[in-house]
Structure 1
Amino acid sequence: MTRFAASLIDLRIAGLGLLLLALLLPSVSAAGDDAHSAWIEKHLDEVIAVYHDFHRNPELSFHEKETAARLARKLESFGAEVTTGVGGHGVVGLLKNGQGPTVMLRCDLDALPVIEQTGLDYASTVTTENADGVEVGVMHACGHDVHITNLIAVARYMSEHRDDWSGTLMLIGQPAEERGAGAKAMLEDGLFERFPRPDFAIAAHVDATLPTGYIGYRAGYALANVDSCDITVKGRGGHGSYPQGCIDPITLAAHLIVDLQTIVSREIAPIEPAVVTVGSIHGGTKHNIIPDECHLQLTIRSYSPEVREHLREAIHRKAYATAESFRAPKPDVEYSEGTPSLFNDERLVQRIVPVFMEALGDDRVTLADRSMGGEDFSRYGRAGVPIFMFRVGSVSQQRLDEFATKGQTPPSLHSAKYYPDARQTLRTSIRATLAALSELLPAKSR
């Protein structure tokens, strides 16, 4: 039996034991959850107003200046020790409350270059120039506005209820998640040297396929290694009517695209997930001109470090071999925006999921599928901190049913038409996060 399978069995046993115990005697954590729920309902309108503000005013990766400033002001108003400018526009807030563990709660600040098409009355109308000088829309199409609002609400509750816990709550507003660069930048700027090194780190992420009111979890590998690769294949240009005097880089690129697909189908074990996708090909300017080069853009996904390295080596090998077969110059192969796979600490998941079940109901906490998406929250785990990113259902069951009736799939994250049912989503997210923190930050001694 694998360690992963064993952890799931232990997790189910732990959850059953906790539920049986709850039937037999009053639960301290249940009482805490009652307090959480009452506070959430009392302040939910204020929370939604904060959410609307962040949704209307998104900023792209590396440009989250005002988003970070608004978050910093909120945390300062709760009595947190706040440091800004960590790894770019990163924010670190510390709520210190006596002796005890340090628990990190992270949200991401950046939005996407998407023109919003939700039709919401609080929809973003922001436009800006991207790094290439092209005007683009800006939208929180991945739920980062929910994540920010969740962190603010949780920080406020913890500040107002200091008698209920002890330790240090480390509140992180991370930039540039969508570019896979923010966590790396904050760590390289001394996040775990300048500030307390957390004993645990947790984060919530919206799920566009999970109904509101539900939490999804996955122990072990949950999200993939993500690598971006640019390949420029080179040839010798000339007139399209005289191909014998040229080396056609577009034909070379076509051969390479087909050959790249054999890496996954013939070099990687079928039980190991892997994806090599050519998402873009650009070459040539006119019907009758053979160009000098052709540019390919790839996204590469995997879980284990061994498969990740195999894919990298094989892509180089295939690119160079294809070029040699055409007697073409050696291609340029460059990697960028790499993010390691996200591995949720199995013991931490075992500890937290039963708490979710008690707070929300065991039928509302579900084992989530693995995803080939990526998240740079993984880097905090690679730095040696036990991490757990859980998923929060963000689309009401009614809306999901309506999509199903029409034979449609719900808009995915990063879609111009995606939006969370914010009230229900935040209600669940805040409850789940507070339940997790109540488990990890012990009650003060009486």
Structure 2
Amino acid sequence: MNIAENISLELIKEVSSSKIYNWSYQYLLRAGIPAEYAHILNSVGILLAVILFLLIIDFLSRKILKNILILLIQKSETKWDDLLIKNSTLNYACHLLPLLVGQRIIPLIFIGFPTWTNVVNKGFQVFMVINLALLVNSILKTIRDVLSTRKRFADKPIDSYLQVFTILTYSLSAIAVFSILTGSSPWSFFVSLGAASAVLMLVFKDTILGFVASIQVSTNDLLRVGDWVEMPKHNADGDVIEINLNTVKIKNWDMTITSIPTHLLTTESFKNYRGMQASGGRRIKRAIHIKISTIRFLKEEELTELKKITLLKDYIEERQAAINKFNTDHQVDKSMALNGRNLTNIGLLREYIVRYGRKNPNIHQEMLFFVRQLAPTEKGLPLELYMFTNVTGIVAYEGIMSDIFDHVFAAIPYFKLEIFELPASTDIRQLRDLAPQQRLATVVAMNTD
């Protein structure tokens, strides 16, 4: 008894239920092909025909349906639908049609081969899950791009949340694929995951820490895309260009990019200049070291000369009148300059800088502003300028600060003051070239100063 005679009655009834399958099968029998081979060749031939048919459907759906949707999107005034094209959402959506058709046709192809039917059907289901995962991911990217164009979300760590949802989507897809291939319930997989939770916590430690840190950064508004931050420990000083689940990318001023783990933003300190940028003013805090030996009381003829400075004329006259009245009322002996009240060159310099800053259009007049003396050091008396510019950009700020100190450095000699400087190499060479007696006199003069 040959194999053909062993085909069961049930199988014959099942085969006859498909007209296409029965027609091609009978055709092969009439061609003289043995029944057992005709059955296999018939299934393989129909399978190849169906694959070709599905490829044609996929091609037509992408070329016709996709192009129709693209034309409608291009005519639309909204912008979010353009992002569907950018993120290939339409491509993944078009792949759904041939996959659905294939799942319907498979049982008609492998009639009499239930094992093959089951295997191929699982393959289609796996492809369906993978395609759906890619489709969901493209939709998430579209949502991210749409939110990034909104002013409210432009500086939020949207990429971090996208990565979380992407990981969740792919994880669920992997579980679904595992369930399809093994034929077991997804819940059994979750039960096994519970036993391996410690291992998973170790493997995904950085991801979990990054996710928690991203939530804290977003909730507490610690960092935004575009913020200027400084983390000297990690050699980071520049603008935040990207906040991901695991890393924060900072573009430094030297055009290099530093990547810092996201969770470090909640465990280590960093400086964020956003408050400064939002305030509209940027601080100048720098000291000039004045040579203490040049600080002294001013003589009458020197005050007369300094009255030629427009910014100080009114102040000198007012202070002179008040000082003269005080000295007269208290019968001060002015044969000694130390007696009574006097104007000093360092005091007038400080007042001049204040008035110069108040007249400077580049200085923010509504923010803290003062010029003060710091504690004297071995390098002289530090005279600190503390003020804010009315711009925050680095280029404009540095230009304004340089202009101010250029002017102050040039103004100091008019008050008979000197800036402290360590001896330069030229000073040492000049001293070496002097005669011994001249060298001794110069050293004595320097020590006297």
TM-score by length of 2: 0.25
Higher relative contact order (CA 8 A, sep 6+): 1
Higher percent of residues as strand: 1
Q: Computing the radius of gyration over CA atoms, which structure comes out larger, 1 or 2?
A: 2
Higher percent of residues as helix: 2
TM-score by length of 1: 0.25
